[in-house]
Amino acid sequence: MSDFNAAAFRQHFPFFAAQPDWIYLDNAATTHKPFAVLETLDHFYRQQNSNVHRGAHKLSQMATILYEEARSCIQQYVNAAEPAEIIFTSGTTAALNQLAFGLMHTVLKPGDRILISALEHHANIVSWQLHCQRFGVILDVIPLDSQLQLDQSAFEQLLTLHPKVVSLTQVSNALGTVLPLASMLQAAKAAGAITVVDGAQGIVWDKPDLQQLAADFYCFSGHKLYGPTGIGVLYGKRALLERLTPLLGGGEMIEQVSFSHSSFNHLPARLEAGTPHIAGALGLAAAIRFISQFDVSQIKSYKRLLLKTFHDGLQHIPGIVVLSPWQDNAGIVTLNLQGEHSADVATLLNEQRIAVRAGRHCAMPLFDLMATAGAVRFAFAPYNQISEVEQCLKALTQAAEILAS
Ligand code: PMP
């Protein structure tokens, strides 16, 4: 049994009272928002709204203080060395694109190698690919073993090619696999690489300690951690952030501008051109304060209980083909009904008001490797109840019967 009170946790989320008929299992796409986040957004726009960093007036100064407090809150949560190492972005995608652009222009040279894994989301593939050809940089991929885990001996081999950057997801959004990140990052650092973590799914599974983890950069999105959409974080070690060429130019990020030349501001402003998502930053800090009230290890064991309930129930449904691992899984199960199209299964579940996602989950190369056209993804969050998993299993059983008839 788990000590975590999922029913009480759920009470913090008004969505479930507003949509009592729905079972929401699309949490890897985005999570719902607790009162604390919604009230922060509402309060900011109703009572505190002003732009940051530029006004001579008190309101702007107040908004600036709130915005910088939000940065410090996030810094403390992820244990970054200083607030300036937290760069606000619009999300993981924006963070990875800034990183790829910034490193290509400064650190990487023609012939250099970047190493990613076969489990990556498109955001951690395409953001590098966009520049590889132009800069003459080679993208290598750690393959999977027969268990769909990353092949660790192939990884060691690829490290002997001395990649300049190793960029890995913490948790596969497509399969739920939790990567052995600590050891892989250490090995990458020992091989001399700059290490990057796509924490989009990892941030809700584990609280990162960025002074412990051998990560030079860590990216995440607020909306997967009960925060607003349109806000995310690029964390980086100061010395490396300072080497990144800014992807966006404009107001705030400059020191001096003339028509022939511009010099850049200090961190974090240097990498935050334009008006930021101020309310979003405050909302993300509210989400972090909210989640900090709960015990991460209790939430983990509760998610394992949801997984076990799902696993046990699936054994009674004929024709289920599970792609996800059951060990070291962050609460995401991807599966198919043998011979059926994943979209058909998801459509039947949707008719029963069960929200899941079907398809290739922004991981087309992974699905190509698995020789699978797509799959249905069930992504659990701590506000999901055991009874919802049971209802979902019933709906899947019915879907299997309908499709077989
Ligand atoms: N990486 C992973 C592992 C993800 O799951 C996602 C979101 N599905 C992203 C990157 C991109 O995040 P966002 O769309 O919030 O930028």
Q: Given a cut of 90, is residue 106 above it in pLDDT?
A: yes
Q: Residue 240 Cα, ligand 1 centroid: separation in angstroms?
A: 23
Q: Residue 256 Cα, ligand 1 centroid: separation in angstroms?
A: 35
Section 61-66 average pLDDT: 97
Q: Residue 194 Cα, ligand 1 centroid: separation in angstroms?
A: 21
Over residues 186-209, the pLDDT tens digits come to 999 999 999 999 999 999 999 999
Which residues line the pocket of ligand 1, CB cutoff 6 A? 91-93, 121, 123, 169, 173, 198, 200-201, 221, 362
**CATH fold for domain 6-32+295-404:** Aspartate Aminotransferase, domain 1 (3.90.1150)
Active site residues: 362
Q: Given a cut of 90, is residue 238 above it in pLDDT?
A: yes
Angstrom distance (rounded) from CA 313 to CA 315: 5
Section 363-386 average pLDDT: 97
- Domain 6-32+295-404 and domain 37-291, same fold? Reply is no
Q: Collect all residues with Cβ–Cβ distance below 8 Å to 68 and sequence separation of at least 6.
A: 83
Q: CB 143: neighbour CB atoms within 10 A?
A: 13
Query: What's 37-291's CATH class?
Result: alpha beta
Ligand 1 atom nearest residue 90's Cα: 16
Identify the pLDDT of residue 2.
62
Q: Which of 201, 220, 332, 377 to mutate to test ligand 1, by most ligand atoms within 8 A of the CB atom?
A: 201
Query: Is the complex ipTM more than 0.85?
Result: yes
Over residues 249-259, the pLDDT tens digits come to 999 999 999 99
Section 238-261 average pLDDT: 96
Q: Residue 200 Cα, ligand 1 centroid: separation in angstroms?
A: 5
Residues 399, 337 contacting (CB under 8 angstroms):
yes
Residue nearest to atom 8 of ligand 1 (CA): 29
Q: Map out the domains of the chain as residue ranges.
A: 6-32+295-404, 37-291
Identify the pLDDT of residue 3.
85
Residues 137, 295 contacting (CB under 8 angstroms):
no
Residues 130, 105 contacting (CB under 8 angstroms):
no
